[in-house]
Amino acid sequence: MKFCVQPGGSLTGRIRVPGDKSMSHRSVMLGALAEGQTQVSGFLEGEDALATVAAFRAMGVKIEGPDNGKLFIEGVGLNGLVAPEHALDMGNSGTSMRLLAGLLAGQEFTATLTGDESLCKRPMGRVISPLERMGAVIASEPEGRPPLIIYGQGTLRGIHYDLPMASAQVKSCVLLAGMYAEGRTSVTEPAPTRDHTERMLRGFGYNVERRNGVISLEGGGSLKGSTIDIPADVSSAAFFLVGASISPGSDLTLEHVGMNPTRIGVLNILGLMGADIQVLNEREVGGEPVADLRVRHAPLKGIQIPEEEVPLAIDEFPALFIAAACAEGRTVLTGAEELRVKESDRIASMAEGLTTLGIQNQVRPDGIVIEGGTLGGGAVSTYHDHRIAMSFAIAGLRASSPIDVLDCDHVTTSFPGFAVLASKAGLLLHEAADA
C-alpha cells in the first residue's frame, strides 16, 4: 500500500493521536509480571504493541482486550511466566525484542525471540553484551542479529553498566534484567533518555533510584497490579506538529499529549526553529505530565540542533527533517548515531527521499546537513519504516508536485488510522495499491 499525497492543504481542528507506544509496551510487560490485576486505558492498538501482548499470552498471561484502548491483565508475578511453545514473534518491534531480552534472561526456561525481515536485520549486540555480563547465555545470528535464543539460567548477577550511547531501550533492558539479579544493578547514561521504565516501575511499587545520572535498583523485589492511563504519543503528534508548522493557514490542537520531560525534544527543537506552539491545559495523569498543544503556521529557520536535545527527540527526527527542508537556511544534526540502527538507517533513508524531492543534503556518520529549499514531487521509498512513511506524507503540505510514498504497510506498527486522521485534519492524502 502507498500514500498518494497531493500538494498543498493545511491542518486545522482538534485531534487526538493514538496512545504512547513506549508506555503501551511497558504497561503490558510490567502488568504481566505484577501480582494482581492491571487495568490499562489509552493503549496503542498498533502492531508493535500487539506483538508484546501476544508474547505474554504465549507465556501464560491472561490478557483481555484491547477494546477501545482498554486492557485487563491478570499478572502472574515476577516468576510466573511459562515457557512458550513456539518462538516469540516481535514483528517489527525493536522495543519488544530489546526489553523482552532483559526479562527473559532472568527466567528458568529457554525462549526464542524473532521478528520480520526488517527486525532480523537490526543488531542486538547492544543488549546482548550487558546481559552476558550479568550471566545470561544468548545465541544469535552473526553481528548479534535475531533470532535470539535466550537460555534462561534462573540466576543473574547485578552489574554496573555505562551505556556507550544514550539509549532508553538498552537502559530498560538492563534494569528489567536487574529485577531478577542478585544484588544491585545500575546504569549510567551519557545523556538523559526517556524514563518511562523507571516511572512505571515505581508506579508498580518497585523502588528505582536515580542519583547523579546513575539509575539503580535491587533484585528480588515485586510488582503490584496498577491502573494506567496512557497519554497520546508525542512521537505520533510530531508529524502533525511539523505539518501544521510548515503549512500556511494551519491552526491545529492536539489533545492529551504526553509531555514527559525526557520526550519533548521535538518541541524544544521546533521552538528553536521558530515554530508557534502553545502548551495548554497542563496536568498530570498517572504520574505522567500531559497537555494540549496548539500549533499554527510559522516561518521556520535552520539551526544547529543542540546535541543535548538529540536523545530527547530520537524517534522524531524523520519528521524534523521535513521541517528542516522547509526552513530558511541550513539545519545541522550531529550526535545522532542511533538513527542508523532504527527500523531503517533513518539518516540514509531520509536523505535519499529528500534528494528525490529536490532538497540538498549532506550525510554525515552521526547526522546530516539539510539545506532548506522548495519541496518537489516524486516517488519516495520508505524502506519498511513507518516513521519515514508518515514524514514524507506530511511533506506534501509544502510540496509543489504530488508525492507517492511507497510501501506504507508498516505505518500500522505505531499509528493505525494515520491516513484517516491526517485526511480529516486536512492533508490531501489517499491510499492506493503499491504496484
pLDDT digits (tens, 9 = 90+) for 381-395: 999 899 999 999 999
Q: What is the pLDDT of residue 97?
A: 97
Please state the rounded mean pLDDT for residues 116-145: 94
Residue 400 has pLDDT above 80, yes or no: yes
Side chain identity, residue 326: C
**Between residues 10 and 143, which one has the greater pLDDT?**
10
Query: What is the b/e burial string over 216-243, where b = at least 16 CB atoms within 10 angstroms of the residue's CB?
Result: bbbbeeebebbebbbbbbbbbbbbbbbb
Q: What is the pLDDT of residue 341?
A: 76
Question: Which band of pLDDT confidence, cut at 50, 70 and 90, is reported for residue 285?
Answer: confident
Report the mean per-residue pLDDT for the chain. 95
Residue 154 has pLDDT above 90, yes or no: no
Residue 434 has pLDDT above 80, yes or no: no
Residue the block writes with cell 509544502: 398
Q: What is the pLDDT of residue 288?
A: 86
Containing 422, the helix (H) or strand (E) segment is: helix 418-425
pLDDT in tens, 332-373: 999 999 898 788 899 999 999 999 999 999 999 999 999 999
Q: What is the pLDDT of residue 69?
A: 93
Output the nine-digit C-alpha cell for 238. 510530531
pLDDT in tens, 155-205: 899 999 999 988 899 999 999 999 999 999 999 999 888 899 999 999 999
pLDDT in tens, 88-127: 999 989 999 999 999 999 999 999 999 998 899 988 999 9
Report how far residue 313's alpha carbon sits from residue 324's, in angstroms, rounded to the nearest whole number: 14
Report how far residue 12's alpha carbon sits from residue 28's, in angstroms, rounded to the nearest whole number: 34
Q: What is the pLDDT of residue 166?
A: 85
Please state the rounded mean pLDDT for residues 416-431: 96
Q: Which structural domains are found in the chain, ordered by start?
A: 2-19+232-432 (3.65.10.10), 21-229 (3.65.10.10)
Side chain identity, residue 288: E
- Report the 10 Å Cβ neighbour count for 333: 25
CB 21 within 8 A of CB 95: yes
Residue 286 has pLDDT above 90, yes or no: no
Residues annotated as catalytic (active site), given as ranges: 315
Report how far residue 161's alpha carbon sits from residue 218's, in angstroms, rounded to the nearest whole number: 14
Q: Which of 267, 195, 273 is closest to 238 using CA atoms?
A: 267
Question: Which band of pLDDT confidence, cut at 50, 70 and 90, is reported for residue 52?
Answer: very high
